Amino acid sequence: MEYQYPIDYNWSTDEIVDVIKFFEAIEKAYEKGIERDELMQAYRRFKEIVPSKAEEKTICGEFEEISGYSSYRTIKKVKDAHSGERITMK
């Protein structure tokens, strides 16, 4: 898909790369499935960069608007899953 990820230009280059990796992990969950632990690791790093729930909601909302993929629903499913499970979204 061709779209721009929602990023904050105050983040460092490494932080921008890690946020993009998180959104790519969400895409992977929808497109072909992803290991729970891989997605959880990406989410934990995302939360280090975006610790505020309000900011997370804004950024993830922007991502869902442009991609159609819900970070919220994906992370909710990940939190309910067990280590080693494969996460697949529809």
Residue 2 has pLDDT above 80, yes or no: no
CA distance 36 to 52: 23
- Average pLDDT, whole number, for the chain? 96
Average pLDDT rounded to a whole number, residues 19-26: 98
What is the reported pTM? 0.94
Read off the tokens for 28.
Answer: 């992977």
pLDDT in tens, 33-70: 999 999 999 999 999 999 999 999 999 999 999 999 99
CA distance 17 to 29: 19
Q: Helices 71-80 and 36-49 meet at what angle, rounded to 10? A: 120
3-class SS at 84? coil
Tell me, what's the pLDDT at 44?
A: 98
Give the Å distances, CA to CA, from 71 to 1, 4, 12. Answer: 16, 16, 22
